[in-house]
A and B are shown apart, each in its own frame.
Chain A
């Protein structure tokens, strides 16, 4: 029973390039969340998606960041024109339902380094 799968595990981009991070939720889970973790910090909520819908993007930076969860395929977090401050670990989580009785299961993250 595979958990939340994220790829790539490590991603290096030069300033100005685009970064695309992928997340496949656990089997049977239709709710996907993206969190960001800066070095020696706790995780910060970014966005919550269901299939083809963004439910809550209150934690997303207003520019350069976007997320999608298409009908087919993984969820994608896209960062355009990356800057050094985007260097962080990006974690995806999924859940079966939305409420507190549906705990979040996290993937092992994608570590983005911007040079």
Chain B
């Protein structure tokens, strides 16, 4: 889930296991959600997005689940690899006219161990 403290929540998984990263949002008007991956020293990289008229969307090795009732979003990564180690951010937007104004969460650090 999202951290309110100074340190990022960290998820440690073994290589080959599945990872689940969670995100809670508070804005009921949000209708568009994106997951980004940020490696150390780099900018955020788009992973997958989902609109509020869907509750599940799949990509390559990733699945995003959206539960609008409890305002919860999750990112599932199948067969996690060392290259998946990064900080993962969920971002949301409520206004399609300003779809660029994304509100990012504080991130979850994923550490993949061999």
Contacts and interface: CB of A to CB of B under 8 A. Distances in A.
Contacts of B45: 106
Contact of B101 (A31, A56, A107): A56
Contacts, number: 66
Chain A interface category by residue count: 20 to 34
The residue among B44, B49, B100 with the most chain A CB atoms within 10 A of its own CB is: B100
B104 to A, nearest CB: 3
A69 to B, nearest CB: 14
B7 A40 contact: yes
A4 B43 CA distance: 10
A108 B42 contact: yes
Of the listed residues A4, A31, A44, A100, the one surrounded by the most CB atoms of chain B closer than 10 A to its CB is A100
Category for how many chain B residues contact A: 20 to 34
B114 interface: no
Nearest to A101: B99
Interface string B86-98: 0001010100101
A27 to B, nearest CB: 17
A104 B100 contact: yes
B102 A45 contact: yes
A100 B46 contact: no
Given A41-B106, A100-B93, A48 B42 contact: no
Contacts of A44: 104
26 contacts: A33-B100, A40-B7, A40-B8, A41-B106, A41-B107, A42-B105, A42-B106, A43-B44, A48-B100, A56-B100, A58-B101, A91-B44, A95-B100, A98-B99, A99-B96, A99-B99, A100-B51, A100-B93, A100-B96, A103-B34, A103-B46, A104-B46, A104-B102, A105-B46, A106-B43, A109-B42
Interface of A: 4, 31, 33, 40-45, 48, 56, 58-59, 91, 93, 95, 98-100, 103-109
Interface of B: 6-8, 32, 34, 41-46, 49, 51, 89, 91, 93, 96, 98-107
